[in-house]
Amino acid sequence: MSQFDRRGFLSRLLFGGAFAVGSGSVTAGTAVAQSSDGTVWTFDAGDAIEAAPDVADGSVYVPSNDGHVYAIDAESGEETWSFETGTRNGSSPTVVDGTVYVGCNDGTVYAIDADGGDERWSYSTGLAVRSSPAVADGIVYVGSRDDALHAIDAASGKNEWTFETGDSVSGSPIAAGGIVYFGSRDGTIYALEAETGDEAWAVDTEESISTTPAIHDAVVYVGASDETLYALEAETGEEVWTFAADNTVGSPTVVEDTVYVGTYSDTVYALDAAEGTEQWSVDTSGSVLTAPALVDDTVIVSSGDSLYAIDAEAGEVAWTFETGDTVRSPTTTANGIVYAGSWDETLYALEADAFPLTNDDPIDDPGGSDGIPAPGVLGALAGFGTISYLLSRRRADADDR
Task: Judge whether residue 60 has pLDDT over 80.
Answer: yes
pLDDT at residue 289 in the model = 86
pLDDT at residue 32 in the model = 55
3-class DSSP state of 226: coil
In angstroms, the CA 389 to CA 122 distance is: 36
Percentage of residues of the chain with pLDDT beyond 90 = 75
More confident residue, 310 or 4: 310
Mean pLDDT of 71-89: 96
Tally the residues of the chain.
401
pLDDT at residue 352 in the model = 85
pLDDT at residue 28 in the model = 62
In angstroms, the CA 392 to CA 287 distance is: 9
Q: Could you write out the DSSP letters of every residue in 299-348? A: EEEEETTEEEEEETTT--EEEEEE-SS---SPPEEETTEEEEE-TTSEEE
Identify whether the C-beta of residue 63 lies closer than 8 Å to the C-beta of residue 102.
Answer: yes
Supply the pTM of this predicted model: 0.81
Task: Judge whether residue 19 has pLDDT over 80.
Answer: no
Out of 20-34, 197-211, 332-346, 361-375, least confident range: 361-375
Percentage of residues of the chain with pLDDT beyond 70 = 79
Task: Judge whether residue 37 has pLDDT over 90.
Answer: no
Confidence at 127, pLDDT banded by 50, 70, 90: very high
pLDDT at residue 219 in the model = 98
In angstroms, the CA 284 to CA 242 distance is: 23
3-class DSSP state of 282: strand
pLDDT at residue 349 in the model = 96
Task: Judge whether residue 109 has pLDDT over 90.
Answer: yes
Mean pLDDT of 135-163: 98
pLDDT tens track for 381-392: 222 232 232 333
pLDDT at residue 369 in the model = 27
Measured from the Cβ of residue 274, the count of other Cβ atoms closer than 10 Å reads 15
Mean pLDDT of the chain: 83
Mean pLDDT of 55-77: 97
Confidence at 14, pLDDT banded by 50, 70, 90: very low
Sign of the four-CA dihedral 243, 245, 250, 252: negative
pLDDT at residue 301 in the model = 95
3-class DSSP state of 116: coil
Confidence at 233, pLDDT banded by 50, 70, 90: very high
Task: Judge whether residue 1 has pLDDT over 60.
Answer: no
pLDDT at residue 353 in the model = 80
Task: Judge whether residue 4 has pLDDT over 70.
Answer: no
Confidence at 177, pLDDT banded by 50, 70, 90: very high
Backbone angles phi, psi at 7, to 5 degrees: -65, -45
More confident residue, 360 or 262: 262
Task: Judge whether residue 17 has pLDDT over 90.
Answer: no
Q: What is the DSSP letter of 182?
A: E
